[in-house]
Amino acid sequence: MLAVLSPGQGAQKPGFLATWLELPGAEARLRWWSALSGVDLIHLGTEAGADEIKDTARTQPLLVAAALLAAEHLPLYDVGLVAGHSVGELSAAALAGVLPAEAAVTLAGVRGREMAAACALEPTGMSAVLGGDEAEVLAAIEAAGLHPANRNGAGQIVAAGATEALGKFAAEPPAKTRIISLPVAGAFHSPYMAPAERALAALAGGVTVSDPARILLSNLDGAAVVHGREVLQRLVRQVTAPVRWDLCMRTLRDLGVTGVIELPPAGTLAGLIKRELKPYGVPEIVTLNSPDDLPAARDLIARHGVAPSLEPTPLFRVVVAASAGTFQPAEGLDEGHDVRTGQIVGQIVTRQGNVEVAAHAAGVLTEWLAHHDDPVAPGQPVARIGGHQ
């Protein structure tokens, strides 16, 4: 399986979009998206300096636009999974077919402006906590009145909160840790961003969505989200919720992802995957930073993606598990039975309770891909529903 990943804030570099503007139609596309997002994406991606593109209000739409611009030159119909880190989730949602590209760029513009405004309300920030025992680090963050805003795996947890509390936390760090203050505008992915979440929710209510056309992982818990409306709700909620990229990488591992393409500005997520998945086997990775990298990305898709066919074939829809646990098919539902849209075809038994699995299209239950008490991972196919073209 091949995954396409969209990076988040902090991955940007001055001038990183310059070479992409040489592609036909790229400049016109960015001018249109600039009008939607309220920032000059061409200037920001080509001429702006490091300080200007650190501005949250500018960075977020720039990153979403960059990922979508590059993805337009890839054969995405062969891609099985997409995910994004923080604001990169908007890009991923568009690549999954949940949102139009225009909606993703517009939401990124609003998200960036509102989060920047929330940062200005009081002095807050973020610090990376490297090393230490995970449970002890989390307990210490809570005891200091801070929030674990980002868990990137590889022994790194990012604490967010009031500047004064961060200072005291750094002065008395947990055992065997190193604290690094991050050059960010405020306490992202924490309750301090509540005003931004409310503003984004007010706008998101008017966005038309579709269910994902491929596996789409959520930063909230690393699970595959199968309802378009739930994707949108999670995108809004993520403004104040922690980014669990560690769980997203665990799902990549559980699903047996063999190839990864990181969209521009690429490198950050590739580095995390190399460190976190090293004990299990690192997927083949292409970091897509310029049009010169497109041939390597297309080759990776050809070798690790789903092979297309021009022959008339049955049209199948795969029902996937939304969480980890053990699968239990619905009683009395057998292969060959008709299934209606929204029908419960089974449930995932988890420690937190049972999660229902519903069919998102009508058809015939052609094949069970998971059986009674089989362990399943988020995004793992459990049933195939088919008809004919």
Q: Which residues are part of the catalytic machinery?
A: 86, 189
In our burial notation (b when 16+ CB lie closer than 10 A, e otherwise), range 38-67 reads ebbbbbbbbebeeeebbbbbbbbbbbbbbb
- Which structure tokens are listed for 343? 């029908």
Return d(Cα 220, Cα 243) in angstroms, integer. Answer: 6
- Amino acid identity, residue 234? R
- Amino acid identity, residue 348? I
Beta bridge partners of 6: 84
